[in-house]
Structure 1
Amino acid sequence: MNYETLRVDIDNRIATITLNRPNKRNCMSPQLHREMTDLLEKLRYDDNVSVLVFTGAGEAFCAGMDLKEFFFETKDSPARFDEIFRTACEWRGRTLRYYPKTTIAMINGFCFGGAFSIVEGCDLAVAANNATFGLSEVNFKLFPGGTVSKSLANLLRPREALFYALTGRPFDGTEAARIGLINYAVPASELRTFTMDIAQEIAQKDLTALRATKDGYRYALEMSWDASINYTLAKQVELKSLQASMESGDWVEAGINDFLKGEYKPGLETHGQSAQRRS
C-alpha cells in the first residue's frame, strides 16, 4: 500500500490513514481522491483490519479541496472535472457512510470545507481542543457545495449550520463538540491516545455485529418506522447465520446463552473478555 498522498499503518486491527500533503495542509487533490478510493477498496477486504482512523500529517487534518488542482486547473475541461468531482463525492459521501468497518476521524488541526464531509462520513469523530474548523467558501464567493451542504444538514442544527456557512467564521474543537459536529474535543497532547483507546475498544467487538449496527442505523434514516423494523428483524436472522460458523458462536447461542450462564455481564464487558482474563 504505497501511496504518494497517503500513509497507512496497521496495528492491533486498526488502520491509521494519514492524509500526507503537509506542505498543502493536506488539502485534497485529484490524486488523493483516487488513492483514497483505491485504499478503501483494499481495506474493505483486509481481514486484519476492523477499524479505520483518519488523521492528517503535520498541523492540519485537511484544509478541504485543493482549489488550484480541483477547480482552477479543470475549469476548461468539464469531463475531467466531472470525473474528479464524482470520485471526490463518492468516497466521502457514500463509501465512508456505508463502509462495512467502523471509521473514526481524528482531527489534529485545520479542518475546512470539503473535510467536513470526511468528518460527517465517519462514524465517530474526535478533535483536539485547539483544532480549527471553518466553512470559508463564502469568503471566496462560493458556498459549501458538493457533499458539504448535505453533511451540514445531516449533522448540525439549522442555526449553527447556517451561521458558520454564512459568516465563514472559524471555530475550535470545543465548539465543534458543542454543536455536534464531533463526539469529543480533548487536549491535543491526548488526542491520539484518547482516539486509539476508542478504536481498540471497538476493534475487540464482533465485526459482523459492528457492521449490522452501522447498517441498522444508516438505513433506518431513509426508512419508515415499519420498514426499519422489518429490515432489522431480517438483519438479526442474517447476523445469526453469518456468525454460526464462527468459533465464538452466534449472538443467541453464545452471546445470550453465556450471559444466562453467568459467564459475563454484557452491560459491562464484551463477550469473550471474561474467558480471556481467566486464561
Structure 2
Amino acid sequence: MAASQKGASMQTAETSIELKQEVGVATLTLNRPERLNSFNPAMHRALAAELDRLRDDAEVRVLVLTGTGRAFCAGQDLSDRAVTPGQQAADLGESIERYYAPLVRRLRDMPKPVIAAVNGVAAGAGANIALACDLVIAARSARFVQAFSKIGLLPDSGGSYWLPRLLGQARALGLALLAEPLSAEQAAQWGLIWRCVDDAVFPAEVQRLAAELAAGPTLAYARIKQALQAAERNSLEQQLLLERDLQRELGCSADYREGVAAFLAKRQPQFQGQ
C-alpha cells in the first residue's frame, strides 16, 4: 500500500481503510460503513500494514483510530465466515492467532500515543480493539457491546483481559454474560474509557486531543506506556527498578532539557520527541 502524503487522505476499495496525515497526526479510519466497519481479512491486512509503517514514521507522533458512519467497529464480519450447518466450521482460534491478537499487540506496542475515537457502536472485537488503544474518547451516542455470548462465544481481542482489570469481576461478568450495551457515558463513569463528549463537539475534541499529544514529548510518552504496561505484571521492587532505568534515559533527552528550560522561563515547551 502506498504511503499517503502529509495533509492528504487515501482509500482503496479493496481495503476500505482511509488514512489521513496532518502535522504530527495520522488518522486511520475503518471505512466499511455498509458493514458497520466490521473486519474481514482484507481490512486486517491493510490495517496491519499501515500500523507497521506508521510505527516507524518519525513525522507521525500520535495515531487516531476511528470509524465511518454510525459505527466505530462491529467486530468480525460474520458474513465472511462459513457457519451453515453441515459445512466445516471456521477455525476461530486461527483467526485470533493470525489477525486479532497481532492487531492488539501492534496497538499496545506502538511507541507513540494511540487514540481510539469511538464515533458510534463498538461491538464484539471492535469494543476490545478500542480498549487496546491508549486513550479512548467516545461520542455520547456511542455504545460498547460485548456481543460474544449472543453467538455462543467469549470476549476475545483482549476483552477477557481488559474487562476484569478495568471494571472488576462483577461488572466484567455482567457485560460478558448478558451482552447488554453500555453507554459511552456509563463507560466513562466506570473507568472503562477516558472520556465521553457530546456528539456535536466530538470531532473537535478528538482533533484537540491529538494535537496536544502530537506537540508533546514523544519519547516520554513511549516510556510512560512501557512503564504502565509493565506494572500489570511487575512487583513493586521490579517497578521501582524499571522507573529508575527509564527515568535515567529520559533525563538525558533533549525534551527533558527543553521542558525544564521552558518551565524556568515560564513559556510553552517546544518538544521535538527526542
TM-score normalized with structure 1 length: 0.84
Q: Distance in 1 between matches of 2:30 and 2:97?
A: 20
Q: Distance in 2 between matches of 1:133 and 1:235?
A: 35
What's the counterpart of residue 107 of structure 2? 96
What's the counterpart of residue 263 of structure 1? 265
- For the aligned residue pairs, the C-alpha RMSD in angstroms reads 2.2
> Is 2:238 aligned against 1:227?
yes
**1:255 partner letter:** G
Distance 1:31 1:154, change over 3 A: farther
Q: Distance in 1 between matches of 2:16 and 2:167?
A: 30
SS in 1 for 2:45: helix
SS in 1 for 2:238: helix
| 1:235-267: CA deviation from partner (whole Å, max 9, x where unpaired) | 1222344x2xxxxx352x4433553xx3027xx
| 1:77-125: CA deviation from partner (whole Å, max 9, x where unpaired) | 64xx555322323344322112101001111111101012212111101
Match runs of 1:1-279 below 5 Å? 1=3, 3=12, 4-70=15-81, 72=83, 75-76=88-89, 78=91, 83-241=94-252, 243=253, 249-251=254-256, 253-259=257-263, 262-264=264-266, 270-272=268-270
Q: Distance in 1 between matches of 2:157 and 2:210?
A: 29
**1:222 partner letter:** R
**1:218 partner letter:** Q
The alignment covers a number of residue pairs equal to 258
Deviates more, 1:20-29 or 1:85-94: 85-94
**1:256 partner letter:** V
SS in 2 for 1:61: strand
| 1:6-30: CA deviation from partner (whole Å, max 9, x where unpaired) | 1000112111110011110001112
| 1:141-174: CA deviation from partner (whole Å, max 9, x where unpaired) | 2222353212212322222211121112112211
Distance 1:117 1:192, change over 3 A: same
Q: Distance in 1 between matches of 2:115 and 2:157?
A: 22
SS in 2 for 1:272: coil
Alpha-carbon contact 2:124-2:147 (below 8 Å) kept: yes
Q: Distance in 2 between matches of 1:97 and 1:118?
A: 10
SS in 2 for 1:216: helix
SS in 2 for 1:218: helix
Alpha-carbon contact 2:29-2:65 (below 8 Å) kept: yes
What's the counterpart of residue 6 of structure 2? none
Query: How far apart are residue 75 of structure 1 and its match?
Result: 4.7
Q: Distance in 2 between matches of 1:77 and 1:137?
A: 16
Q: Distance in 2 between matches of 1:116 and 1:239?
A: 33
Alpha-carbon contact 1:61-1:108 (below 8 Å) kept: yes
Alpha-carbon contact 2:81-2:90 (below 8 Å) kept: no
SS in 1 for 2:29: strand
Alpha-carbon contact 1:17-1:52 (below 8 Å) kept: yes
Alpha-carbon contact 1:50-1:101 (below 8 Å) kept: yes
TM-score normalized with structure 2 length: 0.86
**1:263 partner letter:** A
What's the counterpart of residue 246 of structure 1? none
Query: How far apart are residue 181 of structure 1 and its match?
Result: 1.7
Q: Which runs of 5+ in 2 are unaligned?
A: 4-10
Q: Distance in 1 between matches of 2:231 and 2:20?
A: 33
SS in 2 for 1:54: strand
Q: Distance in 2 between matches of 1:125 and 1:132?
A: 12
